[in-house]
Structure 1
Amino acid sequence: MTTSPVLELSDVSVRRGEKLILGPLNFQITQGERWVILGPNGAGKSTLLQILATKIFPTQGSVSVLGKQMGRVDLFELRTRIGICGAPIAEDIPGDEKVKDVVLTAAYAILGRWNEDYDLWDESRAIALLTTFGVRELGDRLYGSLSEGEKKRTQIARALMADPELLLLDEPAGGLDVGGREDLLRRFANFAADPTAPATILVTHHIEEIPIGTTHALLLKDGQIAVSGPVEAVITSEHISAIFNEKISVTQDAGRFFARSYQ
């Protein structure tokens, strides 16, 4: 039985005025795949992520998300099926919201608790997700009082609250110290190992932040796909050196990737 793509981009490009900043791109992922997107600053990662999150439309081309074509579907309904952890969401989370409610309100795809009624299942799921990502004990704290690492964990829990079919993670380990990064990546790898976990796309600058269990990688350079495919074939010294214009040696150990420059 053929599996329908979770996400499919066909000849997608984005222009700002006369300048082509992204594309043309052709790209698809299917259920069960875990993708990482890497590239230098200005490569087009943020623009691509905004398209995948249905936040912006491409100038040209076709985007199909979860079997629905952008421009021919109610985006509000579609967005309830996509979990997002990243700056566009983080900036809008009220600082005076309880951590538990930051996660819980995702059940209604809203930010900020008002007069909604949540049942015991919703509350249990919110607590379970906070537990999975190591912040259960912070449930009654105000979101604005959390450290950067604690906020990232809360955001991931929120992104998963509505049981999404597609999960988008924008630099989830960015700004964390080494201990926080390693703990988060371990927890995320454990979660992603669940066969029922959603298809995932993680955007990062650093190959050290690629979690174990990642299946595929896409490298962007100057708004175009430099190379994509199975992660071990893509994350190599040759490919990473080419997109970052630096001599970089890539090594792999126990499912993780590491990089260092050399002359």
Structure 2
Amino acid sequence: MIIDIHNVSWEQNNNKILEQISWKVNEGEHWCLLGLNGSGKTTLLNMINGYIWPSEGSMEVLGKKFGEFDLRELRKSIGWVSTSLQQKLYGSETALKIVLSGKFATIGLYDQTDSADMIQAEELMRTLGCTALMERTYNTLSQGEKQRVLIARALMATPKLLILDEPCTGLDVFAREQLLQMIAAVAGEQNAPTIIYVTHHVEEILPCFAKTLLIKKGKVFAANDTSEVLTSALMSDFFGVPVHIEKRNSRNWITVEGDLWN
């Protein structure tokens, strides 16, 4: 079991941010976590990574039960790509050093690397289309290039779980599609980590994400096969406004049919 969350709640200042969340992710499954802004997605991710503790309920991640295992060690087996991480990295470092730092889960490269590390980093960057970026400093990269470098960094430690937190934020449509194609390629690798893809855009849910969790106002709205979740009827209930889901080229596209103004 990659993630086993049972009746977890979390509150802050007497305000429940997450309420009675239960969610199981099996090895080899790739999930999409879908929710609007303020739904509790980021709080749930922080909890999975061990940065905050459940107020109620029990959690196991990668077979490690919270309260019985050093969560700093757990994080070494989790790759996490997020906008907040982008802002913490040193812009003057080369893309190659950024990727190498992923082996140690550090901001900045301070530990000694060897030739095997270098070969692994270069291979990851080649696979993800970053070869030409190796010696460029991070602050000169486009948003799409930064995201590819961050994914290479996350894979450097050979994680069992890879969390992609809204990786397409700030990308134009061409950069978005390029990044999504790259993510599909990573998911298709024989020894791919379990991937959790976080978004609030239905059209970003790739065919490889066969499972989808909908979270709304801190509660699980649905957790099932993506084909069962992404229906016009269920998504209309989820968004609280009539929408139409249309499948084109193995992707789902949403059209709002209700009146949002009144």
1:125 and 2:120 correspond = yes
Question: Which of 207, 214, 221 is the aligned partner of 1:212?
Answer: 207
CA contact (8 A) 1:82 1:167 kept: yes
Q: Deviations over 1:129-177 (max 9, x none)?
A: 2222222201101111111111111111111110000111100111111
- 1:166 alignment counterpart: 161
Corresponding position of 1:259:
254
Cα pair 2:97 2:109 within 8 Å, conserved: yes
Please, which of 236, 239, 245 is the counterpart of residue 231 of structure 2?
236
In structure 1, distance between residues paired with 2:141 and 2:198:
23
SS of the residue corresponding to residue 108 of structure 1 reads coil
Structure 2 gaps of 5+ residues are none
Q: Is residue 70 from structure 1 mapped to residue 69 from structure 2 by the alignment?
A: no
The partner residue of 2:104 within 108, 113, 122 is 108
Name the aligned partner's letter for residue 245 of structure 2: V
CA distance in 1, matches of 2:238, 2:121: 40
For residues 152 and 88 of structure 2, the distance between their equivalents in structure 1, rounded to whole angstroms, comes to: 16
**3-state SS, counterpart of residue 188 of structure 1:** helix
Amino acid at match of 1:66: L
Task: Tell me, in whole angstroms, the C-alpha distance in 2 between the residues paired with 1:184 and 1:220.
Answer: 24
> Which residue does the alignment assign to 2:177?
182
CA distance in 2, matches of 1:72, 1:242: 39
1:230 offset after TM fit, Å?
0.6
Equivalent position of 1:195 in the other structure: 190
CA contact (8 A) 1:191 1:197 kept: yes
Contact in 1 for aligned 2:83/2:167 (Cα 8 Å): no
Residue 23 in structure 1 maps to residue 19 in structure 2:
yes
Name 1:137's counterpart in structure 2: 132
Gaps of 5+ in 1: none
- 1:32–1:195: 8 Å Cα contact kept in structure 2? no
- What is the TM-score of this pair, normalised by structure 1? 0.95
TM-score computed with the length of structure 2 as normaliser: 0.95
When the two structures are aligned, how many residues end up with a matched partner? Answer: 258
Q: 1:241 is matched by which residue type in structure 2?
A: S
The answer on whether the counterparts of 1:133 and 1:184 sit within 8 Å (CA) in structure 2 is no
Matches of 2:150 and 2:207, distance apart in 1? 20
* d(CA) in 2 for partners of 1:172, 1:222: 22
- Correspondence for 1:249 among 226, 235, 244: 244
Is contact 1:39–1:244 with CA below 8 Å preserved after alignment?
no
Q: CA RMSD in A?
A: 1.2
Percent of matched pairs sharing the same residue: 38
Does the aligned pair in 2 maintain the 1:99–1:138 contact within 8 Å?
yes
Deviates more, 1:95-104 or 1:232-241: 232-241
| Stretches of 4+ aligned residues off by more than 4 angstroms | none
Distance 1:166 1:48 in 2: 15
Distance 1:77 1:48 in 2: 19
Q: CA deviation at 1:190?
A: 1.4
Q: Deviations over 1:60-112 (max 9, x none)?
A: 11110111112221111111100000133222111111100101011122121
Q: Does residue 154 of structure 1 match 2:149? A: yes
- CA distance in 2 between counterparts of 1:252 and 1:235 reads 10
- Correspondent of 1:37 among 30, 33, 38: 33
